[in-house]
Amino acid sequence: MTEDNVTKSIEIIKDQLYFAVLQHKIKSTADRHCFCIDDELSYENFYADFGPLNLAMFYRFCCKLTKKLKSFTLAKKKIVFYTCGDQKKQANAAYLIGSYAVMHLQKTPEEAYSLLVSRNSTYLPFRDASFGTCLYNLSILDCLCAIYKALQFGWLDFSRFDVEEYEHYERAENGDFNWIIPGKFLAFSGPHPKSKMENGYPLHAPEAYFPYFRKHNITTIVRLNKKMYDAKRFTDMGFEHHDLFFVDGSTPNDSIVRKFLNICENSDGAIAVHCKGCYMMKHYRLTAAEAIAWMRICRPGSVIGPQQNFVEDNQSRLWSEGDVFREKINEQENGKLAVTRILSGVDDITLNGSNKNRTSEKELYNDDEEMNGVTQGDKLRALKSKRQARASTGSQSWLVAMLLSSLCSLALWWIVYGFPSSILHFCIDGLARSLDSMHVVASDREPVCCEPSGCHRDTVNAGSPVSTGNLPNLNMLQAPQKASPSSTPFSGLNLNLAYSGVTPYQKLELLYCAEPGFPEF
C-alpha cells in the first residue's frame, strides 16, 4: 500500500484503524496489517438486490475486527480494512465499518457516515429484492440509523446473539425464520398444507413449527396471505389464529392495518412485513427507512416494491397514533400491555391497498400466480433454497473423501490394535454400501441440514410488555436458545416423517454431522 493510498484512506481510530476503497488487492507490510472481506462475506441476492449484509455477517465482521484490534502482535501496526470490489462491494464494506463504529466506537450514525463520505463522496444505495424497477433507495446512513436504534432499544446485543442458531433457522429446510425483535417478533415463511419438497425447495406444514413456537412463547398467528392451510391446525393446538388477507406484493388498506395493530397491542403475539414495520414506527418512532433497513439486516428480502412507499407514506400518521396510544396507556392502572403475536405469510404479503396513485407499480406483481398457489414469498424462498444448495455442492466430494479416510483408518486400527475382524467386515460392508448408494447429483438432492445455522414471511411476538411512558427495554427478554444437536434440524421436527425419499447419501451425511460419537479422521 503506497503512502498516497494511506493518505486517501479514512481514519476510523486515530493511528490504529483505517478504511480504504482501492482498485486492487494489497499486502500487509511491516507497519501495516491489511485485510479485505469482499470474497469472505458476500451477499446472496434474490434478484437485483445486493445488500445490506445480514446480521450474522455483521457479527462475524465485528468478531474479526475486534480480534485484530486486540491482538498483541498487531498492537504496533496500523490496521487497514479495505475493499477493492465493485460499487456493490464498496457499499457493503462501508455499511460494515460504519455499523462497527456505531456499535463499538460510540459514534452516532451521522458521525460515522460523515467519515465514510469524507474520502468517497458517494455509495450505491441498496434496493429491494423484487424483480421490477427499483422504487425506493435505502442509503448506508439509513442502515447506520437502524443499527443505532436497535442498540438503543435492546434489539441488538451480540453478547446474547447465537450466530449458529441464526444461520441454522435461516435456511429454508430448517424453517426459514428470523427474529426481528428478539423474544417478540419472529418473521417466518408461511406454512403449507403438508411438509414436502416442491420445485426444489422445502415446504413446511403448521405442525413443523409447533415445538419451536411453544418453546419460545409464541402464542398467536396472524395470516395475511392466501389460505394455504387450515387455521384449525393451529387453534386445535392452543394457538390463537387471525386472518387479515390481502394480495401478495401490494400494500394493506387502513382497515387491515388498524385491525393488525389492535391485535398486537391487546394480545401476546408476533408481527411481520409492513405491518411489522408499522408497529415499530408507531411504538418506537422508527422512520420508515430505519424500519426497512433493520428488517432487511435481520431478514434479507423483506419489504418489497410498493410496500416500501407504503410505510413511508404512513410514517407521520403512525407516529401520531403512537403518541396517542402511549398517552392512553399512561392513564391505565398498570400501564402495560402484553404483546406476543405470530404472523403467518408476512414479508411478502400485500393488500388491496388504498394508494390509488400507485396502480402502475402494482402491475409488477402478478395475482394469477398467487391464485395458483405461488406467492412472491414462494419465489424468493425457491431462490434462497437453490442458492443454499449450490453453496453445499462441494459436500459430496467431501463425504467420499471422509468415507475413504474412514476405511483406511479402520484397516490401520485392525493391523495395529488387533481390531476384531467381524467388526471390521461390518464397517467395510457398510461403507461400501454407502459409497455404492451415492447415485444422486448434489444439485438435485433434497437439502439436509447437518449443522446449526435462520419470500414469503411471517413474524412472532414473545410477550414483551410495552412500558407506560418509555419504550420497553427488550434486553430483558429471553432471546432464542441455541439449537442442540439432538434437536436439529428444526427443533424437534423429524425429517424422516416430514420428508420422504431421503437418500442413503443424505442419511449418512446427516449421521456424520449430527452424531457426537462418530470418530473424526
Q: What is the pLDDT of residues 238-270, one digit of tens each?
A: 888 877 766 555 566 677 677 677 767 776 666
pLDDT greater than 50 at residue 298: yes
Nine cell digits for residue 257: 392495518
**200: phi > 0 → left, psi -120 to 50 → alpha, else beta; which?**
left
Query: Across residues 67-93, what is the average pLDDT?
Result: 96
- Could you read off the pLDDT of 447-468 as tens digits, one per residue? 333 333 333 334 444 443 333 3
Q: Rounded to an integer, what distance in angstroms lies between the CA atom of residue 275 and that of residue 124?
A: 28
Average pLDDT over residues 377-399: 56
* Separation between Cα atoms, residue 445 and residue 378, nearest integer Å: 19
- Higher local confidence (pLDDT), 351 or 80: 80
Type of residue found at 487: S
Nearest one of 270, 278, 348, 335 to 306, comparing CA atoms: 348
Structural domain boundaries in the chain: 3-146, 163-382+454-482, 394-441+498-514
- Between CA 320 and CA 97 the distance in angstroms is 34
Q: Pick from 133, 379, 348, 359: which is nearest to 249 by CA? A: 348
Residue recorded with cell 494489497: 26
- Does residue 442 carry a pLDDT above 80? no
Q: How far apart are CA 327 and CA 173, in angstroms?
A: 44
Question: For position 109, what pLDDT does the model report?
Answer: 99
Residue positions annotated with a catalytic role: 275
Which residue did the predictor score with more confidence, 500 or 47? 47
- The x, y and z cell numbers of residue 218, run together, are 409464541
Tell me the pLDDT tens digit for each residue of 93-102: 999 999 999 9
Given the DSSP bridges, would you call strands 17-21 and 78-83 parallel, antiparallel or unpaired?
parallel
DSSP line for 279-347: HHHHHH---HHHHHHHHHHHSTT-S-THHHHHHHHTHHHHHHHHHHHHHHHHHSSS--EEE--EEES-T
Can you name the CATH fold of 163-382+454-482? Answer: Protein-Tyrosine Phosphatase; Chain A (3.90.190)
Q: Where are the alpha helices (DSSP H) in 158-225?
A: 163-170, 210-215
Tell which residue, 489, 482, 484, 481, has the closest CA to residue 516: 484
CA 169 to CA 167: how far, in whole Å? 6
Highest mean pLDDT among 90-104, 128-142, 318-332: 90-104
Same fold, 3-146 and 163-382+454-482: yes
Q: What is the pLDDT of residue 113?
A: 98
State yes or no: pLDDT of 158 exceeds 60.
Answer: yes
CATH class of 3-146: alpha beta
